[in-house]
Chains A and B, each alone.
Chain A
């Protein structure tokens, strides 16, 4: 409106010459003064508007950022798998050993801490002892697994603690030095070995247990629980599929690779050919002499799913027979997937008469200890039932 008023006035001034001639000098400059004033007012108005818009933009920006922050916080809670830094049972931290395996593969030992150097030395010695030239990944994995089963005892079983040994038996350094471990110690030490041998591997965990997932061949992942096998039957938890691992493990696999291959499962690699299920008792008898033995059978004819319960009956009957014979053993079995929808029967003979603590509770020493205790406490000697 102001602009139109000024333009109208200006039009009169320029066009209506008759009236203009009669105007004073002051009135002649009045339109210019009005025009300048209007421009100034307009400038102030636009500046104010821009400031307001800027403030508005800032508010909108801040709102968006806050919204995105909120969403990001929600994401954090949704699905992030923490391997290193996670504390199993709230206590035993999974710590990275990448610096050690990197030093083994690429050099740079000098940069390691003294403890890491010692770990590297101990782990390198084991690899030198068991890994041979020309072994494939499966064979390397197997010899390390066997070495760990045979040489690392279960931790947390000692009542009398030896200072300095196994104090942190969840860390590879103390596991290799003290030769005992809890599950986290087995899993992190196995991961260290696999990384040193150039294999991809994860420590899988839930709140109370941990084990490994290892890529034996490109895209072929397998679960390995050395801890469970070191205290029980060897190979039962070696190179399992997700499906098999779920029989005794619980985990969130959303951020971990799928393990569905069977080519390198221990059962597939080592199964003994057998004609029929009736030959099994004879084979089990051969195993009786061994402690915590396991054996895998591949049948010459493909076993139909409906015939699988026959194995249940056979295992139950063998267990009854062993109990009647007074044997402190237990037989259990698992059907392993073989190629082309066929199954391999894995049988495990647990020996409850043996302890894994390294002390024979029926030895002369044990008898003597119980007699001395009985004397002091004036009671009958304690006996192992």
Chain B
């Protein structure tokens, strides 16, 4: 099974995806380039960080539901596992919001987990359809 090789400029991808949703609040970003990359990743997913090629994770500064993340895996074989892990992350967030901020639930309920090649995106935002479109187009 040949591995799908793709080229991803994560910084440009992040900028384009976040620009697509003009309703996003102020967002904080962590990524695989940071010193605490591995530790920060555990907030998003419990998948073994060794399997990850690169990632970014943007989340709302004020703690609202908005999140945009892209995780690129080293191997196509781990993509499905990553998708399942992000879905689990959404369920966890839903649980939190159900208790503490029910008005945010609508966003998490409409969250999108999608893939393009070896990259997986998590999109929780009002304009997740537009963000998804950018993700699908940006990775070639």
Contacts and interface: CB of A to CB of B under 8 A. Distances in A.
Interface string A244-271: 0000000001111110100000000000
Given A71-B83, A78-B112, A258 B1 contact: no
Contacts of B53: none
A70 B80 CA distance: 9
B110 A257 contact: no
A75 B112 contact: yes
Interface string A37-80: 00000000000000000000110110010011011101100111
Contacts of A58: 1
A79 B129 CA distance: 6
Given A78-B114, A258-B22, A260-B22, A64 B80 contact: yes
Interface in B78-130: 79-80, 83, 110, 112-115, 126-130
A81 interface: yes
B51 interface: no
B127 A57 contact: no
Q: Which of A67, A70, A71, A81 has the most CB of B within 10 A?
A: A71
A67 B1 CA distance: 14
B115 A79 contact: no
B129 A68 contact: no
Q: Interface extent on A, as a size class?
A: 20 to 34
B114 A256 contact: no
B17 to A, nearest CB: 14
A64 B83 contact: no
A80 B130 contact: no
Contacts of A258: 21-23, 126-127
B127 A68 contact: no
Given A60-B77, A79-B132, A254-B126, A71 B115 contact: yes
Contacts of A254: 110, 126-130
Nearest to A74: B113
Interface string A132-167: 000000000000000000000000000000000000
Given A60-B1, A64-B1, A260-B22, A79 B80 contact: no
Contacts of A219: 22
Nearest to B110: A254
Contacts of B76: 64, 68
B129 A81 contact: yes
Nearest to A76: B114
B130 A257 contact: yes
B114 A75 contact: yes
A80 B80 contact: no
Contact of A68 (B80, B126, B128, B133): B80
Contacts of A71: 79-80, 83, 113-115
Nearest to B115: A71
Given A57-B1, A68-B79, A219-B22, 18 more contacts: A64-B1, A64-B76, A64-B77, A64-B79, A68-B80, A70-B80, A71-B80, A71-B114, A71-B115, A80-B129, A254-B110, A256-B127, A257-B22, A257-B127, A257-B130, A258-B23, A258-B126, A258-B127
Interface of A: 57-58, 60-61, 64, 67-68, 70-72, 74-75, 78-81, 219, 253-258, 260
8 closest A-B pairs by CB: A255-B129, A61-B1, A67-B80, A254-B129, A258-B22, A75-B114, A79-B129, A254-B128
12 contacts: A58-B1, A61-B1, A64-B76, A71-B79, A75-B112, A219-B22, A254-B126, A255-B128, A256-B130, A257-B127, A258-B21, A258-B23
